[in-house]
Structure 1
Amino acid sequence: MPRIKELPLMRLNLIHCQPGRIRVRSRAMLYLKDESETLITGLLNMHYINKVEYSYITGSLLVHFDMETLSTEDVIEIIEGHLGAFSLAAFQRERESKNEVTVNERRLQEESVKDMSRRVGISAFSLAYFAITKGGPKLGIEGWRVNILTMPAIISLMLSSSIFKSGVSSLIKTRRPNADTLTMTAILTALLTGRSMSALVTILLSDIAELMTAYTMERTRKAIGDMLNTGDDEVFVINEDGSLTLKAVKDVIINEVVSIQTGDKLSVDGIVVDGNAYIDQSSITGEFFPVYKGINDVVYAGTIVKSGQIRVKVDKIGDDTTVSRIVSMVEDASSRKAQIQTYADRFSAKIIPLNFLLSGMVYVFTKDINRALSMMIIDYSCGVRLSTATAMSACIHNAARNGVLIKGGNYVESLAEADALVLDKTGTITEGRPKIVTILTVEGVKEQELLELAAATEEDSSHPLAYAILEKTRRSGFVIPNHGLIEVEVGRGVTTTVSERKIFVGNKKYMNENHINFDELSLEINQLEKNGESTIYVADNIKFLGVIGVHDALKENVKRALNRLRLLGFDDVRLLTGDMAFQAEKVAARMNMDDYEAELMPADKARTVLSMQSKGSKVIMIGDGINDAPALAYADVGIAIGNTRTDVAIESSNITITNDDLLMIPSAIQLSRTTMKVIRQNFGLVVGINSVGIVLSAIGWLPVIWGSVLHNSSTIFVVLNSGRLLLKDFERRVS
């Protein structure tokens, strides 16, 4: 695939322009082969576009147009607008392309730390024993076989079986040698030439480096598992006769009904079929307050019943539960490698054949097997690959330990490179739980009457403003009166009947549509709106009763978090919301944001993110994971925080913050930037130390065994350098 100048993915680059014809190119078009017919048909349906030719090989479009009607700029604008529909597919395919592996490497996650520790212990003991006994007992075998059948050689072959298997597998599957192929060849050559102690040293030091990497990965998985503990091991299952049976979670069957009491942690996903309870689901959704759950509500494994008793019909168990899906997405960071990890793998794939070539050249010119063997023992790939994997895993572990779930190493890198920030308002920088601040009534109407009538109208609603009214009514000890059916006018208001009185509750537009005059309180209402309060109008038949002022308070630490992000170099901070313009303006001004857009649909937010990316920005989108799902998916990094709906947060966001603290975002960015700095340090150290070793070995100054010590010690050193990220303070301040 040809290399194109690294412009933003969706930006068009004008290649040539002639009267009535232009050729444009973009990186996105390299990945739209499957959509080519739709792309061409869509453009041909545009007026005055006469002919379109698409080449996915060069990523270009040749467009013939009516030059009497359209200018070159008009055509480019038309193409950009049409191309935007395919942007998500292009983004996903480019990321997949960048992460394609060119060499088949051994996965350290497939080996347990316990087994690797046992192997290190055996190799260390064997090396010490054979060093003392001068190679151990002799087997009395004559000829060349004596080298391969000594006790040190046999143990070396046993200990390196996984290396041999991986090395051969890579040659068979990808027809390319990997790091294990190189190590395998070095070990085998050392054994055949009677240098079994050198082979043992190579195996021991290599295993120590891999053990540290695997240990870091295991700690990462454990940290995530501890934070998202999936619940109790046993549950009470309700039998047909109503009796209870204590059953292991693994034996529970879908559609069985389980009983959950106060203090229990749910072990299944399911639907409440009886009872009610307040449930703490902060570990899943980030909601600070316990959430009321009644019949037909969905509940999730890993959440805790704070008060109440419920019976839950089991919908998902084990690995299918929401919390298990989070764990599985996060714990295997290697499935979502950072570009620098992919670069490390490709660097290794290219450098390994060079090691073989150097080894062969040294042997041809010097006829010295020792020097040739050193060329294979000393390589760059192990240190680069292991230290990068360790750094990413350590970063993800540290973040998870502090309540930040990063779903792969690629998002660590994207987080470090980001320079623009987009935020949703409701539920992200505000609490998402509006509270009544002001109640104004006309003469002759009491606050209690106004609240009770409004609550009757909003009783069945799930709208946040309705929640504010109902919460205020119940806390005041007022009674919600009996009422008739509730009619909803989406985006305007609701109406019902109370004792043959028709009650209207809604916005200003709803009042005007129903010819209800509210001039009596117009001055007071204007003041409420200037104060940033949302106004809810209440009327009886055609008589205006009063207005309720509701305010959604800003979350704690929002201003401090944005200030710290500014210090970290974010010079484009925007607010995108579906809320009313005057509400957005108030919040944007108070938070000193660069821009804001209001009354947006989800698709509008996604378009704004794409527009910013087309100008070269690396965008972080922070939202609640519901109406922000498209924007979260399009952003370079999507962060779900606040009162998120679980399934959407899992599928749409790249990072989930479980403790609802916006200060975690600058802390996570600092950690990711430190991680990238450590990886670059490791690259320099590995290349520098091993280059010196190769030169010294080539001129015969470095014996084989010390070449192995130098190479593997450098690997251990850079792995340790990466491992220190585990100990880095996840500070909530910018240093």
Structure 2
Amino acid sequence: MSAIGEIVHAIPGRTRVKCTIRIENPSLLEAIIRNMTQVISANVRRDSNSVVIYHETEQLPKEIIQLFMNRALAEPSRLKRRTTSAMKHPKVKELGITLTALVVERMLLGPASGGLRSLLRPTSLSLIYASRDIISNGLRSVLKPNEDTLTTAAIGASLLKGTPFSAIVIFGMSAVSELLNEYTIGQTRGFIRDMMEIGETFAWKITDDGTEVKVPSETIVPGDAVMIFQGDKVPFDGEAIAHEAEVDQSAITGEYLPVHIKKGCFLFAGSVVTEGKIAIRVERTGEDLTVSRMIRMIEEAQDKQSSVQLSSQNFTKQVVPMSFLLAGAIYFITRDWNRVLNMLVIDYVCGVQLSTATAISATIGNAAQQGILMKGGQTIEKLAKADTVVLDKTGTITEGLPIVTAIHTYEGWSKEEVLSYAASVEEHSTHPLASAILTEAARLNVKSKPHDDETMENHVGRGVSVIVDDEPVFAGSLEFLKEQGIALDGDIPQGIYLGVGNRLVGIFEIQDKIRPGMNDLLQKMKNNGIKERIMLTGDNESAAKQVMENSFIDHYSANQMPEDKAEMINRLKQNGKIVMMIGDGINDAAALATADVGIAMGGKKTDIAMETADVVIHSDNPILIDEAGELSRKAMRIIRQNIRITLVINTGAILLGTFGMIPPVVGAAVHNAATIGVVANSAKLLLKGGS
């Protein structure tokens, strides 16, 4: 066996090989493997640096593996990912041609003398062609000038003056700034697609007789059952129907620890089975997959403008005309063309706009790496400024899964006896509170008492009764037990009451458990400038008060309908609050849409909550909400920092140019160097920890 790969998992017709060399070009490596004898197909996993090979024979001979691994090593240059090289970018090529034209022109024709004739020289024609997009946009916008209008004027003035090198510097450094911005956006989108790529060509379909058959993934439809083995990516969204497995869901939820999946759990496509195997009933495929919607939302988010970006456009509308007016005034006073050029080649617009767009894109990309989807720059800006948070209770502050927190016993009964009888009477109930009692019985390994199924009766809205050991057993509300003639006197706790015969024997206190990490989030929010933490819930006053007493909530309102929640948020906004709403369900959709920033959180969130929210977090970990806020605050700090840098450097260059202390080519270099610097400053937000 080759030292650069080892078989880590094999079943008839399928083998997984772990590579010890870095896989840089999955498509090429797959093509090499597919050309091997007995190989039907292959899928390369960049995340696990492994290859899954589907083959005709039950077992793939080691010689075949040896062959393809050696061939892969023999062509290392071909295995490198084909990235878009800066040297292959059209603008860079055209810049190179223009510089060559300048050298040849100087050798054959000598320096330019200026005037209209200089526009017909080879260097000028080459530069005009290279700058055609800038010039076209600049001329179209002459009545409402933008940064391209200013750049067009500066290039034209330099060529007319007979200083083509100044024009080349202006164009060249502008191109470098745009390349850096494009690179950041490209890296963000490329990372997201690589991270979330499913890449499963085949699936193991479970037939009606229980056998597993390998079929093309595109033939799988909702309702089919498929098996996912250790090391495989989950190819579809669906519910687990058999077996158990450890699953890495970090690409979807941001959770760094594998999750134990068993029957009844929901799996997202793009997760990876790290141990065991799991069978799922497919619910969504193709473009309907959660991961596909995530990719679309991220890419659409990068095209949305924030008010910061719109402000930079307004800034452009004000500054560019001012630059033209100052240039005209300077020419009128000094008649010095160099000073006029300095006013045209130095501006504040490029640095502000390019660095802002880069910061927004990089922040969206960074958040996506952590399982946080931000829908555009406006979301980032408002999230950084939020001072009030409104939270739904069930499924957001709490887990939405009631649990037994205490068992009170009477008449000399033990907790085990009470739980055994309660489990018996609740055994066939689908009520969430019944599930809490059955879960507690299972946790303590308490068996339910045998009962007569024919005597089981559901009293809608009140409770359940059944005969156990020839005695009637009742479980339900206080009123229900009183109806059965059971005396309930004195100060007793609230909960689910258990009566046997005519005696009260037990009370179960049941609460909706506070979500782990929620109190940490609420405390962090307070430390980070959130002044009010408000809970809105459709539950009753008692349930709401109970949750408030166990969490860091400042205020709450109970018995709230969906429209009530939205109205409350509207009132907060009218009072000048910047409101963040966190929810997960259909009843939260209106509030999420009304808030300045809506956040849909948790694995149980609904599709409508995802669509109406500005931030989508697929994890049940509340701390990711604070991480989203911190990323937004970092982005805004960088944007403000870039504006200050641009103002200081360009103002200094303008003053030096106005007094004739630097030539236009130096002014252009200073201006474009500052632009490159602030764009690079924004690009670091793509990295985890970038600030």
Give the TM-score normalised by structure 2. 0.73
For 1:612 and 1:347, locate their aligned partners in 2 and report how far apart those are by CA, in whole Å. Answer: 31
The aligned residue for residue 637 of structure 2 is 677
Q: What CA distance in whole angstroms lies between the structure 2 residues aligned with 1:116 and 1:493?
A: 75
Report whether the alignment pairs 1:453 with 2:424: yes
Instruction: Could you tell me which runs of 5 or more consecutive residues in structure 2 were left unpaired when the two chains were aligned.
Output: 1-82
- In structure 1, what is the equivalent of residue 72 of structure 2? none
The separation in 2 between residues aligned to 1:322 and 1:221, in whole angstroms, is 17
The 5 A counterparts of 1:629-648 are: 629-648=589-608
Contact 2:237 2:285 in 1 (8 A): yes
Q: Partners of 1:267 and 1:351 in 2: how far apart? A: 52
1:438 alignment partner in structure 2: 406
CA distance in 2, matches of 1:225, 1:262: 23
CA gap 1:149/1:466 in 2 versus in 1, 3 angstroms: farther
Determine helix, strand or coil for the equivalent of 2:616: strand
* Alignment partner, residue 705 of structure 1: 665
Taking a change above 3 Å as real, the CA distance of residues 511 and 182 of structure 1, as seen in their structure-2 partners, is farther
Task: Tell me the residue number matched to 1:694.
Answer: 654
The aligned residue for residue 244 of structure 1 is 213
* Contact kept? 1:116, 1:211, Cα under 8 Å: no
CA distance in 1, matches of 2:533, 2:299: 31
1:519 to 488, 493, 504: 488
For 2:573 and 2:466, the matched residues in 1 are separated by 51
Structure 2 equivalent of residue 10 of structure 1: none
Partners of 2:380 and 2:170 lie apart in 1 by: 32
Alignment match of 2:226 (pick from 249, 253, 259): 259
How far does residue 355 in structure 1 lie from its aligned partner after superposition?
3.2
CA displacement 1:126-165 (0-9 Å, x = unmatched): 5776777674666999997874455544543454344345
| 1:478 alignment counterpart | 447
- Return the alpha-carbon distance in structure 1 between the equivalents of residues 407 and 88 of structure 2: 68
Which residue of structure 1 lines up, in the alignment, with residue 269 of structure 2? Answer: 301
Q: Is the 8 A contact 2:367 2:373 kept in 1?
A: yes
Secondary structure in 1 matching 2:397? coil
Q: Does 1:715 align with 2:678?
A: no
**Matches of residues 334-733 of structure 1 in structure 2 within 5 Å?**
334-363=302-331, 368-441=336-409, 443=411, 446-447=417-418, 449-458=420-429, 460-461=430-431, 463=432, 465-475=433-443, 476=445, 478=447, 483=453, 492-493=461-462, 495=464, 505-512=475-482, 514-515=483-484, 517=486, 519=488, 523=491, 525-526=492-493, 529=494, 535-539=495-499, 546-727=506-687, 729=689
For 1:451 and 1:299, the matched residues in 2 are separated by 33
Tell me the distance in 1 between the aligned counterparts of 2:488 and 2:687.
63
- Give, as a single letter, the amino acid of the residue that structure 1 aligns with 2:568: T
Instruction: Give the 5 Å matches for 1:23-62.
Output: none
* Correspondence for 1:182: 150
Verify the 8 A CA contact 2:244 2:260 in the aligned structure 1.
Answer: no
Q: Distance in 2 between matches of 1:485 and 1:342?
A: 70
CA separation of 1:688 and 1:518: change in aligned 2, threshold 3 A: farther
Aligned to 2:12: none
Q: Tell me the CA shift for residue 314 of structure 1.
A: 6.0
Q: Deviations 1:224-252 (Å, cap 9, x if unpaired)?
A: 445545463543467999883442x5x45
> Would the aligned equivalents of 1:429 and 1:554 in 2 still touch at CA under 8 Å?
yes
Aligned partners of 1:715, 1:230: CA distance in 2, in Å?
A: 38
Alpha-carbon distance in 2 for matches of 1:205, 1:516:
89
Cα distance change on mapping 1:243 and 1:721 into 2, 3 Å: closer
Q: Which residue is equivalent to 2:131?
A: 160
Q: CA RMSD in A?
A: 4.3
| Whole-angstrom CA distance in 2 between matches of 1:481 and 1:408 | 59
The residue type equivalent to 2:320 in the other structure is I
Deviations 1:533-573 (A, max 9, x none): xx223456877553323344434444443333222232222
Give the unaligned 5+ runs of structure 1: 1-111, 530-534
Look up the equivalent residue of 2:428 and give its one-letter code. Answer: T
- 2:166 aligned partner: 198
Amino acid at match of 2:597: V
Residues 220 and 331, structure 1, Cα contact 8 Å, conserved in 2: no
1:604 is displaced (CA, Å) by 2.9
**Equivalent position SS for 1:336:** coil
**d(CA) in 1 for partners of 2:418, 2:129:** 83
Q: Distance in 2 between matches of 1:673 and 1:704?
A: 37
| 1:645 partner SS | coil
Cα 1:425–1:315, aligned 2, differ >3 Å: closer, same or farther?
A: closer
Distance 2:106 2:402 in 1: 78
Shift in Å, 1:408: 1.6
In 2: Cα distance, 1:155 partner to 1:266 partner = 53
Task: Give 1:315 shift.
Answer: 4.2
The alpha-carbon deviation at position 709 of structure 1 amounts to 0.8
Please give the per-residue CA displacement for 1:350-385, whole angstroms capped at 9, x wherever unaligned: 323333444445455555554444333222211111
Residue 433 of structure 1 aligns to a residue whose secondary structure is strand
Distance 1:142 1:487, change over 3 A: farther
Q: 1:568 to 1:311 in 2, by over 3 A?
A: closer
1:215 partner SS: helix
1:347 and 1:227 mapped to 2: Cα distance? 37
Deviates more, 1:220-229 or 1:137-146: 137-146
Q: Distance in 2 between matches of 1:286 and 1:728?
A: 13
For residue 228 of structure 2, what is the amino acid of its counterpart?
A: Q
CA-to-partner distance for each residue in 1:184-240, whole Å, 9 max, x for gaps? 343344345443322221122112212222222233334544554546354346799
Name the SS for the 1:416 alignment partner: helix
| C-alpha distance in 2 between matches for 1:488 and 1:131 | 92
Alpha-carbon contact 1:625-1:652 (below 8 Å) kept: no
8 Å CA contact 2:253–2:371 kept in 1: the answer is no
One-letter amino acid of the structure 2 residue matched with residue 570 of structure 1: I
Deviates more, 1:714-723 or 1:577-586: 577-586
Asked if the contact 1:220–1:393 (Cα under 8 Å) also holds between the matched residues in 2, the reply is yes
Partners of 2:150 and 2:320 within 8 A in 1: yes
Counterpart of 2:279?
Answer: 310
| In structure 1, C-alpha distance between the alignment counterparts of 2:536 and 2:226, rounded to whole Å | 42
Q: SS in structure 2 opposite 1:591? A: coil
Q: Contact between 1:416 and 1:669, CA under 8 Å: does it hold in 2?
A: yes
Secondary structure of the 2:295 match is helix
Aligned length: 597
Q: 2:236 aligns with which of 264, 268, 272?
A: 268
Structure 1 residues 576 and 155: alpha-carbon distance in aligned structure 2, compared to 1, 3 A threshold: same
TM-aligned CA deviation for residue 115 of structure 1: 5.8
| Alignment match, 2:61 | none
Q: Is the 8 A contact 1:621 1:637 kept in 2?
A: yes
